[in-house]
Structure 1
Amino acid sequence: MKTISSRAALGLVAAMLITGSAGAVEAAARVKVSLWDKGANMDMPTGLTYAEPGLNLANATMGIKALPGAVKAGKVTFNVKNDSKDTIHEMIVMYLADPGKPLPYIAAENRVDEDKAGDKGEVSELDPGKSGTLTVELKAGKYLLICNVPGHFGAGMWAEFTVNP
């Protein structure tokens, strides 16, 4: 039976630790996202957009839930599932340059102006029950996850999301 010197063993352990920690740095944070609604037969409320004065999301008939709601800066993978039984939804990641300020909105189209709002990536329209994935590099700051299918953002389909340093 061969034995190795303690110096060689320490070198091997050090190499394994370095390799293992390098892999951990490259791994993306994972966020589970649920796109939900109470059904297509429900009345869709309006005026539930982000930063709306007097906002009461208890009236929302659709929404977005993200777990965890905060991650460290770097690569972030969003595993998105449309949990609706009958409605198409999407998820767009928006950087909030000025948290608390409303996103630019196109009232005639009943949706957010994605080009002006800071779109960082999206999982496009998902049919009911379908899933999609998005991996993006995010810097520290406040973000908003939204569904921008016409009328959905105004009906409360958004969630705040934080990226810590």
Structure 2
Amino acid sequence: MFMAGAAGAVQAAALVQVSLWDKGASMEMPMGLAYAMPGLDPARATMGIKALPGAVKAGEVTFNVKNDSKDTVHEMIVMYLADPSKPLPYVEAENSVDEDRAGDKGEVSELGPGKSGALTVDLKAGKYLLICNVPGHYGAGMWAEFTVDP
């Protein structure tokens, strides 16, 4: 949603650069690194998401997403955290987050190595999680916290 300011200028969407990274397909994927897990040790992650900046103002936000992996497909999904103290709903049998129950706000679907994509969404103030939901990736630590300020 574009808003006109006092001087009649149009406010541009906030721009967030997102890197989807991993240490290579030959690295063993540790498990138990999902958001809000007890005893979480993010230093064990062999893949992850980096978002700059990590916080923006509420309104239209554009995520420019690049898969910086050399050999693995990744994606980025924006999840609203209704309760930041709780983990996202996880389907063990599918080794992935239940996107419908988790508050999916939009995504850049599977990107091949070196590929890029973009997503523009209107976000209200609150806490969000950017995740890769390719089976196993989220549980291996492929997520980043993201804040939308009022």
Indicate the TM-score class for this superposition, using the shorter chain for normalisation: over 0.9
* CA-to-aligned-CA distance 1:92-139 (integer Å, 9 cap, x gap): 000000002000000000000000000000000000000000000000
Give 3-state SS (helix, strand or coil) of 1:41's partner: coil
Aligned: 1:129 with 2:118 = no
TM-score by length of 2: 0.95
The structure with the largest strand share of the pair is 2
Give 3-state SS (helix, strand or coil) of 1:18's partner: coil
1:18 maps to 7
Aligned: 1:147 with 2:136 = no
2:60 maps to 75
Aligned counterparts of 2:43 and 2:107: Cα–Cα separation in 1: 26
Percent sequence identity over matched residues? 81
Aligned counterparts of 1:100 and 1:158: Cα–Cα separation in 2: 15
Count of aligned pairs? 145
- Gaps in structure 2 of 5+ consecutive residues: 1-5
1:120 maps to 105
Higher gyration radius (CA):
1
Equivalent of residue 58 in structure 1, options 43, 54, 72 = 43
Q: How far apart are 1:18 and its partner, in Å?
A: 2.1
Q: Give the letter aligned to residue 35 of structure 1.
A: L
Cα root mean square deviation, aligned: 0.8
1:37 maps to 22
2:84 maps to 99
Aligned counterparts of 1:54 and 1:43: Cα–Cα separation in 2: 20
